[in-house]
Chains A and B, each alone.
Chain A
Amino acid sequence: MEASGAAVNHRARLGERVADLAALPHRPGMARSPVAAPGGSVEEFDVVVVGSGGAALSAAAGALGVGGTVLVCEKAPVHGGTTSCSGGVAHIYANGFMAANGIDDPRPEALAYMARVAYPGAYDPEAPTLGLLADDFELLTTYYDRGAEVMGRLAALGAVRMEAPWKAWDGRPFPDYYDFPENAAPRGRGVQAVADGTAAGNGGELVRQLVAYAEGFGTEVRCSNRVVDLVVSEGTVTGVVVDDGSACREVRARGGVVFGSGGFAHDPELRERFLLAPVVGGSGVPSNTGDLVRMAPRTGAALGPMHHGWWNQVVLEAADDYANSVLDVWAVPGDSMLMVNRFGVRAVGEKREYESRGRVHHVYEHDEYVNRLMFMVYDERTARLFGGRYPIPPPGAVADYVVVATGVEGLAAALEARLSGPARAAMPPGMAPVALAPSFASTLASTIERFNAMARAGIDEDFARGTRPVEVAFHGPPAEDNQLANPLMFPLDTGGRLFAILLVGSTFDTNSGPRIGTEGQILGVDGPIPGLYGAGNCVDGVFGEGYPGGGSTIGPGMVFGVLAGEHAARRSPRVPSR
């Protein structure tokens, strides 16, 4: 369908309203409400938590668990953050599920795996801290040593029991994302909340349980309450300024303030300033606008690397849309399918997990970001057999974001038209337009010919597609008619219609910000800043530039969230120390 000239422009009228809703009170640079009239009493809690996703609510649980009082401030109109849109998996080493099922997860190998994934440029198995900076290594050891302990404590408190294994379609625990020899326990680290006694709960269920736990103490989760500033007294953070939409009021925190407020993926300015390659905001909630990054510097916080994120791919036409779940291209469906750049060249194994596919968009060579857009190309057979697995439309359905044409030449012409028209208009801010290389059609034909030969032989000589357990897990059951040696590949039929979907590099969120210590304290130049804590995507990520396995976002958020909440609460004179 082509859009007609609408008699009523609802985008101009309602679209702005949606942006307002999404930005309320999210929008970077949005004006603050006036300061409340003086004279009223100032609320005081042991801990103020900023945000309400997995990291923030875990901080609340940690603080409540040691006897603190807590206020949770969430600027979005609903609670839960990106966690509530997610699968709710936490990547925990030597966790309760593994222990109960006899899966050994030895410490040296686990640390080596984490270090290699997180810091591939520095990892050296012979070096004292595996080649990592001492602080980074210490965070990884803390994560290994205390992850299962913290999860056990959350279960003992009755907050949430993270012991349901995240399983693949074949019923096996989902494998980690990298097939490195260092990994002695490649399955079982991904765990979800136990729901209804035995079932595995998703992110919404994880949030529900943590909110229920907090509310059991009378703790309020105040939505549409935006923390706009920190109160700092002689170098110590003693509270926050909260804008509830009508006025800005100070709220005191006797023990500390814990941020679990998300990264800055949906702040175009911070994205463009800090990230190394053009990516769009992506599939986290739109309230991820980097509040801590903007507030922390005036406390003297030391920033870590600011170019890290959890990478993925999204359909160009859905970029930065407000989705009901983390609507990235979670897995690229199809076997008679490949993905090429504007030169018609493959750049990554199409069945890799989202992180590796997302990172391919960052490649700079031949004087440009060669993979700024990737084109997922498939044939009639994959459209039929894999239809309904996003982003391939359900069988019989069509979607305007799918380019359809007959044969390779026809597809190239249709793509060229799309790129110079609707796709150009859809390019997000900060991302330059893309045009096909003159040789695109002929190169794509050669690429498909080579791919088809490799599919028949069962070996992808270029990207080893289908050789990693994680690829099989993401692909799902083989197509019934695919009896080839490598069922993740099948020759494309270029004689009929071909389909293409434009994919752009994106994020679940960034994970860059102030550095933290082993108790979640935000670090200044000379050590922890008293009263200021952070966990999750708002701070420098424990996993550096890597994504070891499913749950690498929520796991550290929860673990360091709990540790931060406990530590902050114990700073309060009201709360007994250990």
Chain B
Amino acid sequence: MNLSYLDLPGEGRPCVVLHREATSPVEDAEILRSTGVVGRTVVPFGDYAFYPSGMAIGGLCWYRLLPGFAGTDPVSLAKAVVQVCDLLDAAAIDGLVLAGFGQGAVVALGAGSIRPDRVSSVVAVDPHPGHLPLLPAATWEVTSAPPVLLAGSGPDGAPALERSLTELAGFGRPATGWCWEGNGGAEAAASELATAVRRWLTGTLPA
């Protein structure tokens, strides 16, 4: 298992958070921790990748960025799913919340489906809808996959959320959808997202 990860203590449901590409993994994890529902939180770091331009190494992502290529690289996506499954075994925790943002959301949907013995709930925030069909076929071959909250966290997230819901339904995997519809900046969006996740995890978010 060659992922590096933060292992943050806490009281509540154990959680693994897969960050959005090229952003701070900790910021994404804080959204989950601010729900007040999750406890121990494992935050792995994706592969280093080149930024879309320039030679700076430091972007973190779960699967390959291919400028101008429709979709993404399905091999690297499958690899990311396997890596996260490895992490779930290494962490040796069951009944966990597997949350992901952006690319991490796509990977969370794959790993959560494949390891329902470890994962009891999947929170997928802003997955790239076009990447969902590229998940390994095993993702869709599971009969007892954990429930999924599909969230759109940005003001323009509704169309993508609808597409993702449609994609999942097409694979026989219905999900609860939630989209931020408020005003304000990223802070307000994060706060409302945390509230929605808390309500969903505690069974009080209307379907």
Is B53 in contact with A199, judged by CB distance below 8 angstroms? yes
B207 at interface by CB-CB < 8 Å: no
A172 at interface by CB-CB < 8 Å: no
Is A8 in contact with B1, judged by CB distance below 8 angstroms? no
Complex interface: chain B residues within 8 A of A211 (CB): 68
Is A1 in contact with B115, judged by CB distance below 8 angstroms? no
Please give the number of chain B residues whose Cβ is less than 8 angstroms from any Cβ of chain A in the complex.
52
The chain A residue with its CB closest to the CB of B138 is: A14
**Distance of A196 Cα from B67 Cα, bound (Å):** 13
Max chain A C-beta neighbours (<10 A), residue from B73, B74, B81, B138: B73
B-contact bits for A195-223, CB 8 A (1 contact / 0 none)? 11001111111011001100000000000
A276 at interface by CB-CB < 8 Å: no
B-contact bits for A70-100, CB 8 A (1 contact / 0 none)? 0000001111100011110100000000000
User: Beyond A1-B1, A324-B49, A399-B4, is A21–B57 a contact (Cβ under 8 Å)?
Assistant: no
Is A78 in contact with B66, judged by CB distance below 8 angstroms? yes
- Of B88-96, B121-129, B175-183, the one touching chain A: B88-96
Is A204 in contact with B82, judged by CB distance below 8 angstroms? no
A31 at interface by CB-CB < 8 Å: no
Is B73 in contact with A77, judged by CB distance below 8 angstroms? yes
Q: Which of A7, A202, A317 contacts B117 (CB 8 A)?
A: A7
User: Beyond A4-B89, A205-B52, is A325–B67 a contact (Cβ under 8 Å)?
Assistant: no
Is A1 in contact with B6, judged by CB distance below 8 angstroms? no
A2 at interface by CB-CB < 8 Å: yes
Is A393 in contact with B4, judged by CB distance below 8 angstroms? yes
A333-370 with Cβ < 8 A to chain B: none
Complex interface: chain B residues within 8 A of A273 (CB): none
**Distance of A204 Cα from B64 Cα, bound (Å):** 10
Complex interface: chain B residues within 8 A of A167 (CB): 55
B140 at interface by CB-CB < 8 Å: no
Is A322 in contact with B1, judged by CB distance below 8 angstroms? no
**Distance of A121 Cα from B4 Cα, bound (Å):** 42
**Distance of A400 Cα from B78 Cα, bound (Å):** 21
Q: Which of A11, A84, A317 contacts B2 (CB 8 A)?
A: A317
**Distance of A327 Cα from B79 Cα, bound (Å):** 14
B191 at interface by CB-CB < 8 Å: no
User: Beyond A15-B82, A80-B66, A212-B68, is A398–B136 a contact (Cβ under 8 Å)?
Assistant: no
Q: Which of A18, A166, A321 contacts B55 (CB 8 A)?
A: A166
Task: Show 9 residue pairs from A and B whose CB-CB distance is below 8 angstroms, ordered by the A residue.
Answer: A3-B1, A3-B90, A7-B118, A14-B138, A192-B55, A202-B54, A317-B2, A324-B46, A330-B57
Q: Enumerate chain B interface residues (CB-CB to A < 8 A).
A: 1-7, 43, 45-55, 57-58, 61-69, 72-76, 78-79, 81-82, 85-86, 89-92, 114-115, 117-118, 136-138
Q: Enumerate chain A interface residues (CB-CB to B < 8 A).
A: 1-4, 6-8, 10-11, 13-15, 17-18, 21-22, 76-80, 84-87, 89, 166-167, 192, 195-196, 199-205, 207-208, 211-212, 286, 315, 317-318, 321-325, 327, 330, 388, 390, 393-394, 396-402
Given contacts A14-B85, A78-B66, A202-B55, 5 further A-B contacts (CB under 8 A): A77-B75, A192-B55, A202-B53, A321-B2, A400-B90
